[in-house]
Amino acid sequence: MHRIDDAQRRARLGRRHLLAPSVRAASVVTVADAVVALHATDAATVYLSACARLADPSVAAVERALYEDVSLVRLLSMRNTLFTVSTEVAPAVDASNARSVAADERRRLLKHLREDGQGLDDRWLGDTERDTVAALASLGRATGSELSAAVPALRTKITVFPGTRQETVQGVASRVIRVLAADGRIRRDRPRGSWTSSQFRWTASEPWPATDPDRARADVAGRWLRSYGPATEADLKWWTGWGTRQTRAALAATGAEEVLLDSGASGWVAPGDHAAEPPPEPWAALLPGLDPSAMGWADRGFHLPAAHRPALFDRAGNIGPTVWWNGEIVGGWAQRADGEPVWRLLSDVGREAAQLIEAEASRLSAWVGDARITPRFRTPLERELTA
């Protein structure tokens, strides 16, 4: 059995995630495909993750891919989380994850409608969805409040969790819109305000063509192995949110090959992908919270010292902005109110590393410009740096 040590895994990360300067991309789509999917729960993360990997970082380039070329799309998919993927990858992600997520979202909404007691049912929901899509087709694009003004049913209020401590009255608009988006019948368009805003407008869309789920899972698993391998079955199961049986079937369908990791665990690589990766030149990166390189594995031990976790994660387990040196997380960073990026090293990495980190901070500051970034999930170190 081939052995792939932690140093080799870090070398692969630098090259395959396009973080080493010599492999940074010219295209936003190339960036997205290199990491399979960009986390999009926090709107700014898509831009920060993409631009960290672009040879010529540009907000306009990311906006063009999202809203003009529509070569990147947002999908509610793995682990019921919002991701941004290329249109080449989207059908596989849709069939392997997003369809089941959409079904769960619909069941959840119908349950709330039944429990409310107003007689709202699947027929009412279907009529409301059709009216909403028709309104979007007429308007071109609209915010949630604009859709509510155009579709009276969206102004309906229901009681959720009746008879419990969580009982509350809510409008249905955001829930109906979420179901339509999960089904692919509408999609997020340009936000209100700047690129850091999560208050999106909506526009009509077409669902992705039906694809066999087993074949789609094999496609996603193969792409993930080429970007994140070697990795364990548990890593893939966690990243995708699949069950154990689905994960094992997907790995088998890819022809994945078993290797031995430094931890002593068995890992998996894409067929034939066990040759040594030439180490890239020294590199540094400032990556945002929930960046793919920090979120690609359940066990991050090969690139994240355990002692750094308390400072870099929030209470729910979300990782914040991180500083990287040669494939390892060595600190965290934040942006102060005046726009200055500031960081703290948690590992002793030497003068060369500090100089390259400084250069990356200057590069970040140059393309971010006047924008101000506050991570959606704030961590102890990020809060301390901005205090």
Q: How confident is the model at residue 280 (pLDDT cuts 50, 70, 90)?
A: confident
At 162 the pLDDT is 87
Q: How confident is the model at residue 33 (pLDDT cuts 50, 70, 90)?
A: very high
At 1 the pLDDT is 76
pLDDT digits (tens, 9 = 90+) for 44-64: 999 999 999 999 999 999 999
Report, as an integer, the average pLDDT of 217-234: 97
pLDDT digits (tens, 9 = 90+) for 323-334: 999 999 999 999
Answer whether residue 112 shows pLDDT above 80.
yes
Assessment of whether the complete model's pTM goes beyond 0.85: yes
- Whether the CB-CB separation of 37 and 297 falls below 8 Å is answered with no
At 193 the pLDDT is 87
pLDDT digits (tens, 9 = 90+) for 320-378: 999 999 999 999 999 999 999 999 999 999 999 999 999 999 999 999 999 999 999 99
- Whether the CB-CB separation of 260 and 4 falls below 8 Å is answered with yes
Q: What is the Cα 72 distance to its own chain's centre?
A: 12
At 369 the pLDDT is 93
At 167 the pLDDT is 86
Q: What is the mean pLDDT of the chain?
A: 95
Pairwise CA distance, residues 85 & 72, whole Å: 5
The contacts found for 278-282 with CB under 8 angstroms, 24 or more apart, are 278/11, 279/7, 279/11, 279/14, 280/11, 280/14, 280/15, 280/20, 280/22, 280/23, 281/20, 281/21, 281/22, 282/325, 282/326, 282/352, 282/353, 282/356
Higher pLDDT, 387 or 287: 287
Answer whether residue 319 shows pLDDT above 80.
yes
What φ, ψ does residue 226 adopt, rounded to 5°?
A: -65, -25
